[in-house]
Chain A
Amino acid sequence: MSSVPVSWYLLLAAALFAIGTIGALTRRNGISIFLSIELMLNAANLTLVAYARQLDDRTGQLIVFFVMAVAAAEAAVGLALFIAVFRQRHTIDVNRMNLMRW
């Protein structure tokens, strides 16, 4: 049974992270930026699991567990903030959220 080299997984994770970066930097809809950030977190998780496999060490998988919990907390608070902003300003276009810019 041919085994896939771990570096392929690492390359895939780097590509996913890069795609997420592009999304987080170019999208203007707040929700879409959030989705891109989830994509980046997911790519980091893939890297951790790949290295856990490479080094035969379970700590990587445990860190993924914690990252998922923090991502859940972040999504809950972030979406609540977007609801609050939407009530005030009727939009979640981040280009129009410039109250604290200067």
Chain B
Amino acid sequence: METVIFALFAALALVSAIVVVTHKSPVYSTLALVLTLFSTAVLYVLLGAPFVGALQILVYAGAIVVLFLFVIMLLNIQKEEEAHAGFGAQTWTAILGAAIFLGMMGLIFWRSGSPAAAPLTPESVALKPLAAQLFTTYLLPFEIVGLLLLVAVIGATVAARKPGEELGHIGEHEYVSGEEPRTDPLKSGSDPHQPSVAEPAYSSQREAS
């Protein structure tokens, strides 16, 4: 039974991982990644780590992948132009490197063998010792990770804001909200390096209003 579940979800993870890497459309790649993450979550549960499995679905499939989809749709990314132009040197080198890595890892895992792991008991799967260890032995790393996430949120907000928008001076622009003095590629398709073309139309619009 366990072997059947393992084989099923391992195959699912491998196939969807290949789809992630080979599909030209980033939306389909992301949806295939959801499948990979879900299969891996099932494998975590099989390995006696239901907490990690639940976290995988909540954090990865629930939050990170949604963030990816949001950005893909915000940027309106098309399929790669001249995708895989030349199934050339770069691709073959990457495949060669990955094959060497896989061979080495396989050799190591095979040679080292695996003594039969101790059977799972309710104690070894229990959540309480895990939480106790997290909040005692690893309390400092836990706090640091919280700080890291805070810094990441602030950094992402600053990095993704509109160019030219000074922090703290957002309300001081003289244009009416809803009008854009700069051309923003997320709103229009024009080049931001030629704002002079849009300027007269904009100012006349403002005088009219």
CB within 8 Å: A-B pair count: 239
Is the CB of A97 closer than 8 A to any CB of chain B?
no
Interface size class of A (residues with CB under 8 A): 35 or more
Q: CB-CB < 8 A to B67: which residues of A?
A: 75-76, 79
The verdict on B199 contacting chain A, using a C-beta distance below 8 Å, is no
Among A32, A49, A50, which residue has the most Cβ atoms of chain B within 10 A? A32
Contact at B21–A22, with CB atoms within 8 Å? yes
Q: How many residues of B contact A (CB 8 A)?
A: 90
What residues of A have a CB within 8 angstroms of the CB of B63 in the complex? Answer: 72
Give the nearest-CB partner of A76 in chain B: B156
A77, B159: Cα distance in complex, Å: 8
Q: How far is the CA of A53 from the CA of B113 in the complex (A)?
A: 15
Q: Which of B147-197 contact A (CB under 8 A)?
A: 148-149, 151-153, 155-157, 159-160, 162-163, 184-186, 191-192
Known A-B contacts A31-B68, A69-B148; A39 and B185 likewise in contact (beta carbons under 8 Å)? no
Q: Of A17, A38, A49, which one neighbours B52 at CB under 8 angstroms? A: A49
Which residues of the other chain, A, contact B17 by a CB distance below 8 angstroms? 16, 19-20, 39
B116 interface residue per 8 A CB criterion: yes
Residues of B within 8 A of A69 (CB): 145, 148-149
- A–B Cβ pairs within 8 angstroms, 29 of them: A3-B2, A6-B114, A9-B6, A10-B109, A11-B106, A17-B105, A19-B14, A20-B17, A21-B98, A22-B95, A26-B94, A32-B29, A38-B33, A38-B64, A39-B33, A45-B40, A56-B124, A59-B133, A61-B52, A62-B133, A64-B52, A66-B138, A66-B145, A68-B56, A70-B145, A71-B64, A76-B153, A87-B184, A90-B191
